[in-house]
Amino acid sequence: MDKFTRLEGLVAPLDRANVDTDAIIPKQFLKSIKRSGFGPNLFDEWRYLDHGEPGQDCSNRPLNKDFVLNQPRYQGAQILLARENFGCGSSREHAPWALLDYGFRAVIAPSFADIFFNNCFKNGILPIVLDADDVDRLFKETAASEGYRLTVDLERQLVTTPGGHSISFEVDHFRKYCLLNGFDDIGLTLQHAEKIKAYEEQRRQTEPWVFTNA
C-alpha cells in the first residue's frame, strides 16, 4: 500500500447524497479477478452515455458531458468532495480500487458508509469526515473558483483551503499510523500470532463446536 502523508490536489465536487458503490463501480466490472484497471469504469453509468462492459476500450465511448468528472476544469482531480453517506451499499472493494486507479487519494464528505470507509484505509485512500457546514462551504468555494485545490495533511489532521483556512479532522490513531507508513496490516497482525493461537486454544476448550469441520 502507498503511504499517505500530505496531499495538495485539485478538488472535484460530486453533489449527491447516498452515492452507493453500485454507482461507483457497476456490477459487470466485478467479474474481474484483478485489483487494478477499474479507473476507466469509475462511475461508469453516470460518466458515459452507452452501456459499458469489462475489457472494452473506454477512450472512444460517448461521454456524458453533464457529469462533473467529464468537465475539463476537473481533469486530474485527486480529492473528491461528496455529500452524506458516501459509499453506501455493497462491500465491494472494487469501489476504492476504482477511485484510486482513477487518481483520487482522498474523499471528503459529512459521513461515509462503514465498510467503504474501512476499505479506503486498506488502499491508501484517506476518507475525511467534516461537518456538513464545512463541506457545504467547500462545495461553494470549489464551484466559485476554477482550479480550486485543497491541502490535506494527515500528520497534523488538517484540510487547508487556498485562502489559508484550516479545518481539523479526526482519524483513528491506528489507521493513521498504518496510512502514514504504508503498512500492510496483515504483517502487523501476525506479530500477535502467539496471542491468536492462545486465544484459539482456550476457545477450543470452552466452545469446541465452533471448531468442528464440515
Partner 1 sequence: MSAQTLYDKLWQSHVVHTEPDGTALLYIDRHLVHEVTSPQAFEGLRLAGRKPWRAASILAVPDHNVPTTGLPKEQAGVQLSEAAEKIYQRWFKSIEDPIARLQVETLDQNCTEFGITEFRMGDVRQGIVHVIGPEQGATLPGMTVVCGDSHTSTHGAFGALAHGIGTSEVEHVLATQCLLQKKSKAMLVRVEGVLGKGVTAKDIALAVIGQIGTAGGNGYAIEFGGAAIRALSMEGRMTLCNMAIEAGARAGMVAVDDTTINYIKGRPFAPKADLWDKATAYWRTLVSDQGAHFDALVELDGAAIKPQVTWGTSPEMVTTVDGKVPDPLAEADAVKRSGIERALAYMGLQANTPIIEIAVDKVFIGSCTNSRIEDLRAAAAIARGKRKATNVKQVLVVPGSGLVKQQAEQEGLDKIFVEAGFEWRDPGCSMCLAMNADRLEPGERCASTSNRNFEGRQGQGGRTHLVSPEMAAAAAIAGHFVDVRELMSEVK
Site residues, partner 1 (CB under 8 A): 15-18, 20, 22-23, 26-28, 30-35, 45, 51, 54-55, 83-85, 88-93, 96, 111-115, 118-119, 122-123, 172-175, 185-186, 189-190, 192-193, 195-196, 199-200, 203, 207-214
Instruction: Please tell me the distance from the alpha carbon of residue 212 to that of residue 51, in angstroms, as a whole number.
Output: 47
C-alpha distances (whole Å) from 165 to each of 138, 150, 162 are 11, 10, 7
> Are residues 43 and 69 in contact, defined by beta-carbon separation less than 8 angstroms?
yes
Sign of CA dihedral 140, 144, 148, 150: negative
Helix (H) or strand (E) holding 180: helix 173-181
User: In terms of CB distance, is 133 or 164 closer to partner 1?
Assistant: 133
Shortest Å, Cβ 17 to partner 1: 5
Distance (Å, rounded) from C-alpha 29 to C-alpha 41? 8
Read off the C-alpha cell for 114: 462503514
Query: What's the min distance (Å) between Cβ of 22 and partner 1?
Result: 5
- Choose between 146 and 185: whose C-beta lies nearer to partner 1: 185
Q: Which is nearer to partner 1, 45 or 134 (CB)?
A: 45
Q: How far is the CB of 44 from partner 1 (least distance, A)?
A: 9
Nearer to partner 1 by Cβ, of 10 and 23: the residue is 23
Q: Measured from the CB atom, is 72 or 193 closer to partner 1?
A: 193
Q: State the DSSP string of 16-85.
A: -SS-BHHHHS-GGGGG-SSSS--GGGTTHHHHBSS---TT--GGGSPB-TTSGGGSGGGTT--EEE--TT
Whole-number minimum distance, CB 128 to partner 1, in Å? 15
Cβ at position 11, least distance to partner 1 in Å: 18
